């Protein structure tokens, strides 16, 4: 069975600094997608970044980037130049390629940003 593990329930970062959130997953599949979602307090969950497993290049979206290590089944999220608006719950999620709908989520990491 596929599982997603986020080992850091809480993280804290100073404004303008860099923070890395960790995520590991377990699967026997070779083709899949990985996602990071952000859920601000009392606000909607939004997609931060997406990675296709067949791509070796790490995905990047502005201040957000991932370190995808397929062999190690690791998918960490790096947030550079942290801003107060980055404070939120961050969820790592996994989906098998061509199996629409079956998103498997980790437990989440609550990120706080200190001014």
Residues near other proteins (CB under 8 A) are: 4, 33, 35, 37, 43-47, 50, 52, 91, 95, 100-108
Instruction: Give me the torsion for CA of 77, 80, 81, 82, rounded to 10°.
Output: 10
Least gap, CB of 18 to other proteins (angstroms): 26
Q: Which is nearer to other proteins, 18 or 54 (CB)?
A: 54
CB atoms within 10 A of CB 103: 15
Q: Which is nearer to other proteins, 16 or 47 (CB)?
A: 47
Least gap, CB of 16 to other proteins (angstroms): 26
Two structure tokens written together for 88: 């939120």
Least gap, CB of 14 to other proteins (angstroms): 26
Residues 6+ apart with CB under 8 A from 65: 49, 58, 59, 77, 78, 80
Q: Are 97 and 35 in contact (CB under 8 A)?
A: no
Least gap, CB of 28 to other proteins (angstroms): 20
Q: Which is nearer to other proteins, 43 or 71 (CB)?
A: 43
């Amino acid at each position: 069975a596929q599982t997603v593990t986020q080992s850091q329930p809480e993280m804290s970062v100073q404004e303008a600094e860099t923070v890395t959130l960790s995520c590991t997953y377990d699967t026997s599949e070779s083709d899949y997608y990985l996602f990071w979602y952000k859920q601000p307090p009392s606000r909607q969950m939004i997609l931060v970044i997406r990675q296709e497993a067949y791509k070796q290049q790490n995905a990047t979206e502005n201040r957000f980037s991932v370190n995808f290590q397929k062999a190690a089944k690791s998918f960490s999220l790096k947030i550079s130049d942290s801003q107060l608006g980055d404070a939120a719950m961050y969820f790592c999620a996994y989906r098998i390629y061509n199996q629409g709908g079956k998103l498997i989520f980790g437990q989440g990491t609550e990120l706080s940003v200190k001014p």
